[in-house]
Amino acid sequence: MKLTILGSSSALPTSERYPTAHVLEVHERLFLIDCGEGTQMQIRKNRIRLGKINHIFISHLHGDHVFGLYGLLSTFSLMGRNTPVNLYAPIGYDTILRSHLNDFDIHLDYEIRFTPLSGKDPVKILDNKFITVQSFPLKHRVSSFGFLFREKPGERNMIKDRISEYKIPVARIPAIKKGENFVLENGTIIKNEEITTAPPAPLSYAYCSDTGYFSRLSEFVKGVDLLYHEATFDSSLEKLAAKTGHSTTLDAARTARDAGAKALIIGHFSSRYKNISFLVEEARSIFPVTVPAIDGSSYVVGKILQP
């Protein structure tokens, strides 16, 4: 898994930070998470292939998370796209989207497959060969959702020397990779562990923006390898954060700590902050493995790279 930050600002973009958008790459498949204004410009700057984006997740219906979607969908059509786009967004957004497309005479040459988000508990919204994705409710001024991406366990790896040693037929290898033992012609059972090695541990990434602090959130993302959590304000603005349905640096750090996350990225910074280094230091006072979201930077899940 590799995460690329396209935008790390909150409501107002700055000269250095675009509104929120992330791209998560899993097994060469791209997942776009939120789509603030300027997202497609950032996609091009970061040499991300537009045609490989087949799934788009919208956390909530505030402009800094969705204004870039209309232009992106139009661009897809102008480029000749004919494969479906899977769109996950709060319930009712499909009506808003189609109204916009009609108002601006935009005719898409591909299908939008809409999955509505709702409810007060985690819900599995995507399940394919490589990953599952759950949506879960956040605490904001409008209906808002986070997303948890979990890689599925890979198949076991064959030990090449054992293939020749035990004369394992090629036709038996797929079943052995799935965990079966191998039986010799004389009936001797060769344990799977003797002829294979375990695959790498599956990875996970959770996205939480926008939200105020609530204790149940840490349960939704328990044990995640990499947690992205908004930290719009520093700790001195705790009351403003509560009023606007956002989090402080310490709120994000507490959630990461209580979830047992391996690493934390904070972002969605208020435009009032020109220098975000002290925001990172505040979060590190509770959760040391914290790095800032920096536009254009990529982070390997399971191995945080300092930007």
Beta strands 226-230 and 263-267 are parallel
Spatial distance between the Cα atoms of 197 and 211, rounded to a whole number of angstroms = 41
Q: Are residues 7 and 86 in the same domain?
A: yes
Q: Measured between alpha carbons, how far is residue 285 from residues 1, 2, 62, 290 in Å?
A: 27, 26, 31, 10
Q: Are residues 94 and 234 in the same domain?
A: yes
Same domain? For 169 and 248 the reply is no
**Cβ neighbours of residue 63 under 8 Å, at least 6 residues apart?**
11, 19, 36, 37
Q: Which domain holds residue 164?
A: 157-197
Catalytic position from the list 34, 64, 225, 295: 64
Instruction: Tally the domains of the chain.
Output: 2
Q: What pLDDT is recorded for position 101?
A: 93
Residue 76, in any domain of the structure: yes
| Catalytic residue check, 121 | no
Report which of 302, 293, 304 is spatially closest to residue 42, judged by C-alpha positions: 293
3-state class (DSSP) for residue 62:
coil
Give 192: exposed, middle or buried? Use CB within 10 Å, 0-12, 13-18, 19+.
Answer: middle
The answer to whether position 306 is within a domain reads: no
85 and 27 fall within a common domain = yes
197, 222, 255 — which closes off a domain? Answer: 197
Q: Residue 177 burial (CB < 10 Å; 0-12/13-18/19+)?
A: middle
Contacts of the segment 156-164: beta carbons below 8 A, 24+ positions apart: 156/192, 156/196, 156/197, 156/198, 156/199, 157/196, 157/197, 157/198, 157/199, 158/195, 158/196, 159/195, 159/196, 159/197, 162/194, 162/195, 163/195
- 186 and 209 part of one domain: no
Phi/psi at 94 (5° precision): -60, -35
At 305 the pLDDT is 54
CA angle, corner 225, sides to 32 and 131, nearest 5?
50
Number of helices followed by number of strands (H, E) in the chain = 10, 18
Q: How many CB atoms lie within 10 A of CB 48?
A: 17
The series of mean pLDDT values per 10 residues for the chain, 307 residues long, is 96 94 96 97 96 97 96 95 97 96 93 97 96 98 97 89 89 89 90 89 95 97 98 98 97 98 97 96 97 95 68
Tokens (6 digits) for 78: 């102008």
**Are residues 216 and 292 both part of a single domain?**
yes
Distance CA 176, CA 168 (A): 10
Q: Where are the beta strands (DSSP E) in 153-225?
A: 157-158, 182-183, 189-190, 196-197, 204-208
Q: What three-state secondary structure class fits 242?
A: helix
Residue 294 CA to residue 307 CA, distance in Å, equals 7
305 inside domain: no
Q: Are residues 88 and 142 in the same domain?
A: yes
| pLDDT for res 198 | 85
Residues 169 and 284 in one domain: no
Evaluate if pTM is beyond 0.85. yes
